[in-house]
Structure 1
């Protein structure tokens, strides 16, 4: 009975997603005030006065019409900004995402107990992958703690994009496909891809419901490197 109670009261990673409030639209005055504050450190007195005049003209002219359009857009979306941000920051960019857009990400830190040395790349890589796969299992089982501000839960949807997600190239705009699923939602890809000498090798990291160990991952990688 105690175990059942513990399970029922334990928070799941994505349990608040459907109950989160919609992204609010800031007032026009608030937005313009923040804009002026961001400009001030980079403008001299004359440039700042000219900017203030432009902002005042915008606020009392087309700015109000655009604000009403923004409010109308927000009525039909939980997040009025998400699509715009995704397109402008990621999908419309015509340069490689790595380094230019995605220059960082989650990774296990192992330098403090294993200084790098020649000939240990596969071993270190296998251990790093194993830690990342454990993180993947936390998400699959919804065991990752919900991020909060005080007692208010934050949107956890971005964690779904860490695994089983790919960007499909397009001519003017790319697209994103996500295959990640929690255990309660169904099957989620559980394979690793190894790129070696111009070829791609794939193997499943789950065996009879259990995650492969770091030495097992290393043995598979050694096989691919040694036999081709």
Structure 2
């Protein structure tokens, strides 16, 4: 079985499309949402762009890519512009992961569902860390798995204008020492933390459930300071 990140250093760098190809794709996407007159006007604007500032901007982008020698010239821009500069609530708008289908909604309580969620996340954590997570393919062509290293042990540090991602995740081959395995639970204005492992062994769902029940009991005694509003 191939290791999760086995191909990452072997894949070719992301190519920069030609300006003509990019503009053709843009016109194709626009065609479905505009009428004939709007499309004709848009096409004229695109043609002027291609003959003027568009060519200059494309050459600048090409030069910057050659200088930086990045394998994926789009990655940094995408992370910053689409995610790290986002100033609206993150969880309900651009959250990218979830396991809502693991337990049917009618099964027991919210605590039961979240303890199974945590347990499942920990199993995924172990699978990625040990590089047993299957590689994604398009046909016979493998895709980079680099972003899977940001699923865990990664936090977003606030800054003015653009935030920063910091990750301490390491695979076993990179560092045999286990990275942080705690979880943070916010409830009723309180923040709690507990580790999902004891003596290097993953807690069972009932053990996780017991800790969550303790958190509910403690947080119900009085409202907290609401520190989560500052993060």
Please, what TM-score do these two structures have when normalized by structure 1?
0.86
**Structure 1: segments with no counterpart, 5+ residues:** 1-9
Cross-structure match for 1:69: 60
User: In structure 2, which of residues 17, 21, 26 is the aligned counterpart of residue 26 of structure 1?
Assistant: 17
Cross-structure match for 1:212: 203
Cross-structure match for 1:105: 97
Aligned length: 215
Which piece of structure 1 moves more, 14-23 or 43-52? 43-52
CA contact (8 A) 2:5 2:131 kept: yes
Cross-structure match for 1:14: 5
- The whole-number CA distance in structure 2 between the counterparts of 1:110 and 1:100 is 22
Cross-structure match for 2:227: none
- The whole-number CA distance in structure 1 between the counterparts of 2:129 and 2:72 is 25
Question: Does residue 59 of structure 1 match 2:50?
Answer: yes
Question: Does residue 162 of structure 1 match 2:157?
Answer: no
1:18-167 pair list within 5 angstroms: 18-75=9-66, 76-102=69-95, 104-107=96-99, 109-112=101-104, 115-117=106-108, 120-167=109-156
- Secondary structure, counterpart of 1:25 in structure 2: coil
Cross-structure match for 1:3: none
- The whole-number CA distance in structure 2 between the counterparts of 1:55 and 1:227 is 61
Please, what TM-score do these two structures have when normalized by structure 2?
0.85
The alpha-carbon deviation at position 151 of structure 1 amounts to: 2.5
CA contact (8 A) 2:125 2:152 kept: yes
CA contact (8 A) 2:103 2:113 kept: no
**Aligned alpha-carbon RMSD (Å):** 1.8
Q: Report runs of 4+ in structure 1 exceeding 3 Å deviation.
A: none
The structure-2 alpha-carbon separation of the partners of 1:197 and 1:61, relative to structure 1 and needing over 3 Å to count, comes to closer
User: In structure 1, which of residues 164, 171, 187 is the aligned counterpart of residue 160 of structure 2?
Assistant: 171
